[in-house]
């Protein structure tokens, strides 16, 4: 992956900006981490379902699932960090959805079972 430092810095700034605007309006904020199918060892069937991770820079390149995991984990860690610093509720959905085609129809989008599972995780997190 390219250096994510600048993107993570901007993302953290935007999350905190959003929190500040919501608080000014008296709106309660709950953040979620983002689940994904990528993992270091993937089946051929799972690899076939991947759509994301390729970019056209000077040439067309595709990042490995392992690299994409590292990138998404960095963003999810930042969400958790901002929640901790801002004393916000954060539901770590990413850690609770198994990374299989039982729940995903591509890299990051749920199928019906995945949407149902995510709803259960989020509802439980809101009720705690």
Q: Are 53 and 65 in contact (CB under 8 A)?
A: yes
Q: What is the pLDDT of residue 82?
A: 98
Q: Is the dihedral of CA 74, 20, 83, 115 positive or negative?
A: negative
Q: pTM for the whole thing? A: 0.89
- Sequence-distant (6+) residues with CB within 8 A of 73 are none
Checking DSSP bridges between strand 30-32 and strand 89-91, what pairing results, if any? parallel
What are the pLDDT digits (tens) for 28-54?
A: 999 999 999 999 888 888 888 887 877
Nearest 10 degrees: Cα torsion 49, 54, 56, 59: -100
């Amino acid at each position: 992956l390219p250096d994510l430092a600048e993107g993570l810095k901007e993302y953290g700034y935007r999350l905190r900006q959003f929190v500040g605007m919501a608080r000014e309006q008296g709106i309660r904020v709950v953040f979620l981490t983002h689940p994904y199918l990528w993992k270091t060892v993937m089946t051929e069937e799972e690899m076939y379902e991947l759509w994301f991770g390729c970019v056209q820079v000077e040439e067309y390149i595709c990042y490995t699932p392992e690299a994409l995991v590292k990138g998404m984990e960095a963003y999810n860690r930042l969400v958790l960090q901002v929640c901790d610093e801002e004393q916000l509720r954060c539901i770590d959905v990413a850690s609770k959805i198994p990374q299989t085609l039982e729940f995903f129809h591509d890299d990051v989008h749920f199928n019906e079972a995945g949407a149902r599972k995510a709803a259960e995780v989020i509802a439980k997190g809101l009720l705690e």
